[in-house]
Structure 1
């Protein structure tokens, strides 16, 4: 039976590729080549071993077949999740039963593991929280890792437990009388203790809500905070990773990902306690979730490739497609091909209820299968993502640098009818001359083709296509310095940040200095340099998020590859003539009530204006009170009411507003009062 994701759809004004372009980029006209900028000095996350994943479900009769396993291996799948979505919370592994649901033949745990091994992947198991116990989960660990020696590392506690009715919608089984996040977190601790007592090497994952997806940020009656706040505060010391699910409901949501992951990291850092940097992020269910725009045809595949690359570049350690086999849904015509509304990678050969339309033969790959395959060929474990950007919203670009010095660039053309010539420009990398290796998948194709076409700086992208360009370096790689270690933030103010990092390993010459660079799209700007391993960078902008890398340069001028990235946000002035405190009084996952306390620490004011800027284009003002509110684009102003213009020294004015959002809600961080930047009070 197919799973229908129960998500509130997000709305956003970004196109599929606009996220990749710097804010100052002017889009090219139709008769100009698309410009692609690749910056090897701007390092992002390293590609993990488990990056490309998918879900197996116990109602899928073909879960354990050799044909299915071999197809997944050919797609580059490195992680398989079991026993399948919401079924996890009714499934009992010892009896291989799921009361209230269908269990197909030949889908038991050992059959699943045989397929995992044939695929050459790792397993992720979801322990039954809804109708199970910690003892049952511990028994599963014992059987898997002690008795059978499967060595399963990743174990989730429950599926989408926030869907147990606590917030008003109920699709997830949960027999606990108390369905609050506190009760779930309390049980996560019990499960983790019982399971790690059997095998202390396993990693335990807890379910979180995904930023800007219901019921994220909602505080239910009787709770001390939102689901994420309560779960992380209570169980943070016991878990090793957190679990997000994302069904964006459209093909143009890639621009949400960076903020989605950053906000999750900030929640972990705020609530999970000391050592929370160890906690990883797993996207254990993902699908474009848009049958009308192409769930299993090429538009959906292009969105999948773009999302997988973006999620992995932002440090998610696995992205798991829903599902291997799923079943026919709404049948439509998309981009010249039949879209079966199927959320699977492979055809289940199912038919509509009236038998009028049937899918292709069993295990025929759908277009998203080739998206995963392309991403696996483009970004291999151990590669490091680097920044890439384009000047057309129809074209998205991603890039990785390989340990041997090679570069790979993934180009995605989402236009249905336009073939685009592309000019590629490189910073921090010089490609070798000659035609590069080019991998291509086009609309309706049943394989990825490989050839040597174009040049390192010029390619042509067919309509609705994925293209990977693999480049050899012109410069010798031997002898250059190693990358500096992971930088850490040791102090930050509104305008300065102090960083430190482990020294790089010298190459054939001594290291002369380290350079700290800031990423801005695919452009980097140097913030400072030093001969040591600590620096204070200055002249930063208050309330601004920065992502930086450190590079080493030797006495001969050779430069290392970049360190891992560090992301931080500057504060606001510690001493100012005003301060502002923003309090979110209530939130419903698409809007919130905000209260602003404005305190004057300077001379009395006879008339005042508070100003701030929405951090993202998907945020807007709905209404406001206790001031005269206006909005111009992303700029917001609140002017004192005519009857109450005075703000005396030491006095506080409280005003409020309703803010709307249709993507991750990054709160305003910088406020000015009559042009003066205020101290933002946490």
Structure 2
């Protein structure tokens, strides 16, 4: 008897290209790191983080945060690797091109310690008189890292207030005591740097211990802390670990997202008054968890959960999600081998980056989730998440408000491993394999791309994973600059390192360096700057933490690139439109 392969089941997907669900924020894709991580300083880690598309990295790591003292790089009854100092972490963050999100020590720290951390991180320079770390290599003059987001405490509700106790808390317990300390800490931290944003820990709606009361919490946690702390904070924090008894049950939990976020937003609106609309929601820890015996955090179903959850949260107004944890969940410790959730994070940058618009979409098959993004360059991207471990589906794409070219670029990741692959296929139909992620990127059919409004210039799209940066203020007059450029080269590849010095008489509040490659070189990833490339022309713009370039000041950045034939030095260096000398 001849057996025939089972035909793929048809699925109809509809995308409403003009129905906006909001813009992807610059903080959308993040990861969590930890001071105990013995692989934090692996030389290859910054490049891997940059290539993942992550734009935020959280430290010092989960419950350790409420035991961690940044000046000594030590933790009460916990372990912090001696080499993983705050400045060492910042070195990784800067090379990876991510902005840090710091959790200050509520459990065993002080208000002065929290404010001192902000002062050391953001207010360094001449005349600095703030705290100095006791660890070797700490700066005696502080830094100007420009860290914007600061959480106050980790899962503080887990200090025994509702029975279970895993979080260190040497302060009075209960939500009222926590909220009052948040107000004091936030006010002290903002007195040092008024530009920062501070965050308040909430319980996740529908998850323990949300809605519970106790002798020291006569009202539920969120109903107690929000009225007290809302005037002093800028964002709220939840964690979500919905791991269930099976992979299929975990994958189904993403249907809870609209209820979770709408419930949270309702509480914010109830208690925060006129400030409610400005309070951001951040999910600073998320992971599907270990659902079944023998499955590790690196299982394929967690990659599917990750992308469906990230996009579901963002579509419902969340500003940031940080996947837990860099090592042993995204990358293998030591070998740095990527696990499936790493490639899932990378896939999101093919779908959309900061500034792109999420649009509504629907699927006729509950096991095939869909998310769509209208990219700033005029393309339309559709992510298909096949949660079925056994069956393929042939997906027909129905587009409302968008006319697509007949050909599309299709990115795929599945159980065959080996990373994300790309190919050219149909813009109207695609077959998705069992347990797979597929992103279909469509071009406008009007001219093979977007049609700009007459008299305007199309917005260039950054390299996947990069964040568009506003055009810096140009300095008029005789502004000048100096650029040092060095190369470490091997066959077909190279690392370029640049130091940019402001030799003008005016400080720069934003900078943009441009240069031209003479031999067709291509930038593949970068750090300490946001890189975009059009043909031979490369543009580097500042990140949020190095936008200011003082008179006589310098900033260093680097990139990895590819070459063929020759790898001559770039030419035509200009900084904010002014020609630079070459050191």
| TM-score strictly above 0.5 | yes
Separation in structure 2 between the aligned mates of residue 84 and residue 367 of structure 1, nearest angstrom:
22
Does the CA contact (< 8 Å) of 1:233 and 1:273 recur in 2?
no
Match of 1:406 among 365, 370, 379: 379
Any idea what SS the aligned residue of 1:71 has?
A: helix
TM-score scaled to structure 1, two decimals? Answer: 0.60
User: Does the alignment pair 1:314 with 2:299?
Assistant: no
Any idea what SS the aligned residue of 2:75 has?
A: coil
The equivalent residue for 1:548 is none
User: Does the alignment pair 1:452 with 2:424?
Assistant: yes
Match of 2:66 among 84, 89, 93: 89
The equivalent residue for 1:366 is 339
User: Does the alignment pair 1:428 with 2:408?
Assistant: no
CA offset at residue 251 of structure 1?
2.5
Unaligned runs of 5+ in 2: 1-5, 125-142, 244-249, 457-583
The equivalent residue for 1:462 is 433
Separation in structure 2 between the aligned mates of residue 93 and residue 478 of structure 1, nearest angstrom:
50
The equivalent residue for 1:277 is 277
User: Does the alignment pair 1:173 with 2:168?
Assistant: yes
Deviations 1:363-419 (A, max 9, x none): 111111001010122121111111111111221110001122210000111222222
Does the CA contact (< 8 Å) of 2:161 and 2:216 recur in 1?
no
The equivalent residue for 2:52 is 75
CA offset at residue 481 of structure 1?
13
The equivalent residue for 1:471 is 442
The equivalent residue for 1:286 is 286
How do 1:123-142 residues align onto structure 2 when only pairs under 5 Å count? 123-142=100-119
Unaligned runs of 5+ in 1: 1-28, 327-343, 350-361, 483-682
CA offset at residue 480 of structure 1?
8.3
How do 1:234-313 residues align onto structure 2 when only pairs under 5 Å count? 234-249=228-243, 250-292=250-292, 295-313=297-315
CA offset at residue 457 of structure 1?
0.8
CA offset at residue 295 of structure 1?
2.7
The equivalent residue for 2:85 is 108
| Stretch of structure 1 that moved more, 188-197 or 410-419 | 410-419
Does the CA contact (< 8 Å) of 2:161 and 2:217 recur in 1?
no
Separation in structure 2 between the aligned mates of residue 158 and residue 76 of structure 1, nearest angstrom:
27
Any idea what SS the aligned residue of 2:398 has?
A: strand
CA offset at residue 289 of structure 1?
1.0
The equivalent residue for 2:492 is none
Deviations 1:193-237 (A, max 9, x none): 100000000000000000001110112224352111111100001
Any idea what SS the aligned residue of 1:272 has?
A: helix
Q: What is the root-mean-square deviation in Å for CA atoms of aligned residues?
A: 1.7
How do 1:35-46 residues align onto structure 2 when only pairs under 5 Å count? 35-46=12-23
User: Does the alignment pair 1:143 with 2:143?
Assistant: no
User: Does the alignment pair 1:390 with 2:363?
Assistant: yes
Any idea what SS the aligned residue of 2:14 has?
A: strand
How do 1:539-554 residues align onto structure 2 when only pairs under 5 Å count? none
CA offset at residue 103 of structure 1?
1.4
Deviations 1:265-294 (A, max 9, x none): 110010123222110000000000134166
TM-score scaled to structure 2, two decimals? Answer: 0.70
Separation in structure 1 between the aligned mates of residue 151 and residue 9 of structure 2, nearest angstrom:
49
Separation in structure 2 between the aligned mates of residue 479 and residue 367 of structure 1, nearest angstrom:
41
Match of 1:34 among 3, 7, 11: 11
Deviations 1:28-83 (A, max 9, x none): x9864110111112210211111111111111011133211111111111000000
User: Does the alignment pair 1:440 with 2:412?
Assistant: yes
Does the CA contact (< 8 Å) of 1:156 and 1:205 recur in 2?
yes
The equivalent residue for 2:576 is none
The equivalent residue for 1:162 is 157
Does the CA contact (< 8 Å) of 2:8 and 2:393 recur in 1?
no
Separation in structure 2 between the aligned mates of residue 290 and residue 88 of structure 1, nearest angstrom:
23
More helix by share: 2
Does the CA contact (< 8 Å) of 1:61 and 1:105 recur in 2?
no
How do 1:603-642 residues align onto structure 2 when only pairs under 5 Å count? none
Separation in structure 1 between the aligned mates of residue 445 and residue 214 of structure 2, nearest angstrom:
59
Query: Given the superposition, is the C-alpha separation of residues 373 and 211 from structure 1 closer, same or farther in structure 2, using an over 3 Å criterion?
Result: same
Does the CA contact (< 8 Å) of 1:46 and 1:315 recur in 2?
no
Match of 2:202 among 180, 205, 208: 208
Does the CA contact (< 8 Å) of 2:73 and 2:82 recur in 1?
no
Does the CA contact (< 8 Å) of 1:251 and 1:299 recur in 2?
yes
Query: Given the superposition, is the C-alpha separation of residues 63 and 256 from structure 1 closer, same or farther in structure 2, using an over 3 Å criterion?
Result: same
Query: Given the superposition, is the C-alpha separation of residues 222 and 30 from structure 1 closer, same or farther in structure 2, using an over 3 Å criterion?
Result: farther
How do 1:469-508 residues align onto structure 2 when only pairs under 5 Å count? 469-475=440-446, 477-479=451-453
Does the CA contact (< 8 Å) of 2:121 and 2:145 recur in 1?
yes
Any idea what SS the aligned residue of 2:91 has?
A: helix
The equivalent residue for 2:462 is none
Separation in structure 2 between the aligned mates of residue 139 and residue 447 of structure 1, nearest angstrom:
43
Does the CA contact (< 8 Å) of 1:296 and 1:345 recur in 2?
yes
Query: Given the superposition, is the C-alpha separation of residues 192 and 481 from structure 1 closer, same or farther in structure 2, using an over 3 Å criterion?
Result: farther
Does the CA contact (< 8 Å) of 1:394 and 1:415 recur in 2?
yes
Does the CA contact (< 8 Å) of 2:287 and 2:324 recur in 1?
yes
Bigger Rg over Cα: 1
Separation in structure 1 between the aligned mates of residue 203 and residue 147 of structure 2, nearest angstrom:
25
Any idea what SS the aligned residue of 1:445 has?
A: coil
Any idea what SS the aligned residue of 1:173 has?
A: coil
Does the CA contact (< 8 Å) of 1:159 and 1:207 recur in 2?
yes
Separation in structure 2 between the aligned mates of residue 428 and residue 69 of structure 1, nearest angstrom:
40
How do 1:510-549 residues align onto structure 2 when only pairs under 5 Å count? none
Separation in structure 1 between the aligned mates of residue 429 and residue 185 of structure 2, nearest angstrom:
55
| Stretch of structure 1 that moved more, 468-477 or 416-425 | 468-477
Query: Given the superposition, is the C-alpha separation of residues 425 and 481 from structure 1 closer, same or farther in structure 2, using an over 3 Å criterion?
Result: farther
Aligned residues: 422
Does the CA contact (< 8 Å) of 2:409 and 2:440 recur in 1?
yes
